[in-house]
Amino acid sequence: MPSTKALSLTAAAAALTLGLAACGGDGGNGGGGGEGDALQFGYVFPQTGDLAHLGPPQESAAKYALQQINDAGGVNGSELPEFIEGDEANDAAQANDAAQRAVDQGADIILGAAASGMTQAIMDTVTSNQVVQCSGSNTAPGLAEEDETGFYWRTAPSDLLQGPVLAEKIAGDGHQSVAITYRADDYGEGLANAAADALEENGIEVSYNEGYDPNAPNFDAVVNEMANAEADANVLVSFEEGVQIITGLIESGVNADQMYATDGLNDEQLAEKVDSNDPSTIAGFQGTAPDVGTEDFLGGLTEYDPELEVFQFAGQVYDCAIVTALAAEQAGTNDPAEFVNEVGAVSKDGTECSTFEECKQLIADGEDIDYQGVSGPIDFDDDGNVTTATFQVYGFDDEGVHDKQDAITVP
């Protein structure tokens, strides 16, 4: 691993000159991380749009991580400034504008986007400028492989891992036929097909598996087709628009305990959104999603932000911030063109550590580290995917209260 010893004044000046030459001196190509600059984070999260409920947990988790990094003395001798903020708004053009602003303002690391489709909209803008990108919620299969630069990483597990977990849950509940509907994008299609393949491998009939336009004015056609399929179970791979599909299915006589969903509907407020007058309408509704983090992490995050009500992907975003900051600390530089080579290295094959402060001390002692995240062990592969993950089975009780029913680690 590269040494973290301080450069001499002459060497530091030379390195700074080279760094400015590499990035054009204006925050492009390579971010703002010269040797004399503090590490700069930015983020592109859904502050508005139909994924806005995922914005608060991701923003709070990122800022909580930043606080813990600074409490431990920062990175490479400097405390980190506040985030450069951006709103993806589930709109490709707006997301890309937000990413470009963060790059132009000198971001070395950009967290996000939340939606896989929005990451596709911003990935080239970020990675082609040699800025490290890490998402805690991108799950579309093959997304990491699309990046040929090596600057994109994700702590959220691929849907190729989640699909079989959902299928095993449905099979375990005794269902023999399943109807699946999904938003017609990379996230929806990838996860729906992964689940369908696993269901069929378990000998369960997939009687319907069709996508829908998430921007359609209504979803009556989808509801009718699913209801007419007369399956034992109905799977929705949806975001906020799934509320309308759930409501329509219930009105068509499909019980909530025959419905399953994925992380896009893992919303503590879902019962209120389906029927604010009677949240128990959704009793028995279940789904799978990447687990949100350890109890210690959730306790600390809640203390940091007592008003936080949704926690989906909080642990994964926190881990993105910590592991990329540790990569810079390990490399001994805040230049993303240099520390990107350490992101995978600090996630495996070293002395295990679970906090930024603990890991930072091990690095100072000259040890290789293996960061154990709050969302799982991390262990990045060569494409920037996590290779193991813990999923939760969530559900809603007789009063429509969201709860975590089980945790499953794969593989």
Architecture of domain 159-290+390-410: 3-Layer(aba) Sandwich (3.40)
Same fold, 9-156+313-379 and 159-290+390-410: yes
The residues near 86 (Cβ < 8 Å, ≥ 6 apart) are 42, 43, 44, 45, 95, 98, 99, 101, 102, 112
- Provide the whole-model pTM: 0.84
User: Residue 386: what pLDDT?
Assistant: 95
Nearest to 341 by CA among 352, 351, 328, 353: 328
Overall CATH class of domain 9-156+313-379: alpha beta
Nearest to 126 by CA among 144, 105, 109: 109
Strand partners, 386: 380
User: Residue 32: what pLDDT?
Assistant: 58
- Domain residues of the chain, as ranges? 9-156+313-379, 159-290+390-410
Residue pLDDT tens, the chain, 411 long: 333 323 333 333 333 333 333 333 333 445 655 445 899 999 999 999 988 988 999 999 999 999 999 999 999 999 999 999 999 999 999 999 999 999 999 999 999 999 999 999 999 999 999 999 999 999 988 899 999 999 999 999 998 999 999 999 999 999 999 999 999 988 899 999 999 999 999 999 999 999 999 999 999 999 999 999 999 999 999 999 999 999 999 999 999 999 999 999 998 899 999 999 999 999 999 999 999 899 999 999 999 999 998 899 999 999 999 999 999 999 999 999 999 999 999 999 999 999 999 999 999 999 999 999 999 999 999 999 999 999 999 999 999 999 999 999 888
DSSP letters, 311-365, are -TTHHHHHHHHHHHHHHHHHHT---HHHHGGGTTTTBSSSEEE-SHHHHHHHHHT
User: Residue 33: what pLDDT?
Assistant: 52
Element (H, E) at 43: strand 41-45
